[in-house]
């Protein structure tokens, strides 16, 4: 697409030290079969590896790719804001640098907005990029009705109207933004089963535990900010303690099985939710 032709869709990708994976994602985005002209905006959040060089190489061969600096942003949400600030199209599709969008992803998004959608949530697929997740009991796919995990698209005017993502949130800033959007418009994001992104996640037990714990710690804050949009995470503190103790004691044998990743994920979620509730009490 020549620079003189305005894009109908912008693809926004925040990245930090993603040299090992962003090339695969950019290749997947640029080869999307989509009738609408599109651009790709990559916001480099202070990478110290070869991320900028990888993106620059793609930009040199394809004028649709643009690299913007976001080194001053302290969070992923800030880097995503920097990417969207540089986007020119009325529709912005967000994805992550370590994931891989699948054929038909962008066309399905464009079709949904042509039908009047204000925001969409796409399907996250877990097995392709995460060896062992099938055996560990993780679901193959997940489709939210809220914005989550760099797997969504939104009208840029609504994004600007609501002030973008909250950079003070360490995680789940996209979900928090989605709740604000829902409150403003009165509508949830449209779920798109045919728009699929393969998600790459940490595969060792410690990383899975930390990720689950970190995310769950934000749930009480989301509940406080958005009591109507966010389903209650737990009824009260005693219920949290009982649920965590029940799960850990009942499922100890899973620690030595192939399903241990599911065990540590739930354990991390219980602990994080408990910690977040104490912090917000």
In order, the DSSP letters of the chain are: --TTSPPSEEEEEEESS-TTTHHHHHHHHHT---SS-EEEEEEE-S--SSHHHHHHHHHHH-TTEEEEE-TT--SHHHHHHHHHHH--SSEEEE--TTSEEPTTHHHHHHHHHHTT-SEEEEEEE-STTSTTTTTTT--SEE--SS--TT-EEEEHHHHHHTT---TT-SS-HHHHHHHHHHHHHS-PPEEEEEEEEEPP---SHHHHHHHHHHHHTTHHHHHHH-TTTSPPS-S-HHHHHHHHHHHHHHTGGGGGSTTHHHHHHHHHHHHHHHHHHHHH-
User: Do 153 and 119 touch, CB atoms closer than 8 A?
Assistant: yes
User: Do 189 and 236 touch, CB atoms closer than 8 A?
Assistant: no
Can you tell me which residue has the tokens 């891989």?
Answer: 100
Distance, CA of 122 to CA of 157 (rounded, Å) = 20
Q: How big is the CA angle at 150 (ends 145 and 151), to the nearest 5 degrees?
A: 45
Which pLDDT does position 62 carry in this prediction? 98
| pLDDT over 60 (residue 113) | yes
Which pLDDT does position 279 carry in this prediction? 65
Computed on alpha carbons and rounded to an integer, the radius of gyration of the chain in Å comes to: 19
Name the pLDDT band for 147 (thresholds 50, 70, 90): confident
Which pLDDT does position 2 carry in this prediction? 46
The residue-averaged pLDDT of 194-199 equals 97
| pLDDT over 60 (residue 1) | no
Q: Of 1-10, 101-110, 141-150, 172-181, where does mean pLDDT reach its minimum?
A: 1-10
Q: Of 65-79, 184-198, 221-235, where does mean pLDDT reach its minimum?
A: 221-235
| pLDDT over 80 (residue 269) | no
Which pLDDT does position 235 carry in this prediction? 39
Q: Tokens representing 198?
A: 């393969």
What are residue 35's phi and psi, to 5 degrees?
-70, -25
Distance, CA of 100 to CA of 95 (rounded, Å) = 8
Which pLDDT does position 12 carry in this prediction? 98
User: Do 6 and 89 touch, CB atoms closer than 8 A?
Assistant: yes
| pLDDT over 50 (residue 236) | no
Of 256 and 276, the one with more pLDDT: 276
Q: Of 134-138, 195-199, 262-266, where does mean pLDDT reach its minimum?
A: 262-266
Q: Tokens representing 75?
A: 């969070």
| pLDDT over 50 (residue 112) | yes
Name the pLDDT band for 5 (thresholds 50, 70, 90): confident
User: Do 222 and 176 touch, CB atoms closer than 8 A?
Assistant: yes
Which pLDDT does position 28 carry in this prediction? 98
Provide CB contacts within 8 A for 278, sequence distance 6+.
237
| Torsion 5-31-130-197 (CA) sign | positive
């Amino acid at each position: 697409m020549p620079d003189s032709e305005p894009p109908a869709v912008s693809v926004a990708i925040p990245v930090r030290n993603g040299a090992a994976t962003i090339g695969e994602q950019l290749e997947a985005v640029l080869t999307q079969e989509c009738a609408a002209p599109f651009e790709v905006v990559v916001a480099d959040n202070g990478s110290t590896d070869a991320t900028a060089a990888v993106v620059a190489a793609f930009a040199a061969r394809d004028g649709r790719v643009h690299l913007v600096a976001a080194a001053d942003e302290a969070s992923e949400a800030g880097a995503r804001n920097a990417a969207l600030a540089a986007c020119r199209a009325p529709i912005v599709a967000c994805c992550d640098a370590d994931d891989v969008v699948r054929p038909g992803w962008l066309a399905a998004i464009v079709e949904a907005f042509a039908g009047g959608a204000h925001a969409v949530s796409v399907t996250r697929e877990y097995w392709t990029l995460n060896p062992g997740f099938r055996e560990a009991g993780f679901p193959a796919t997940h489709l939210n009705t809220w914005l989550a995990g760099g797997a969504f698209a939104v009208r840029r005017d609504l994004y600007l109207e609501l002030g973008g993502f909250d950079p003070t949130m360490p995680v789940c800033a996209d979900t928090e933004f989605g709740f604000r959007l829902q409150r403003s418009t009165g509508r949830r994001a449209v779920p798109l089963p045919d728009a699929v992104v393969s998600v790459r996640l940490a595969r060792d037990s410690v990383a899975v535990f930390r990720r689950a714990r970190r995310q769950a710690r934000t749930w009480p804050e989301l509940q406080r900010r958005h009591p109507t949009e966010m389903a209650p995470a737990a009824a009260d503190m005693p219920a949290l303690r009982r649920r965590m103790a029940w799960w850990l004691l009942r499922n100890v044998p899973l620690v030595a099985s192939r399903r241990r990743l599911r065990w540590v994920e739930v354990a991390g979620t219980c602990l994080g939710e408990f910690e977040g509730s104490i912090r917000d009490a």
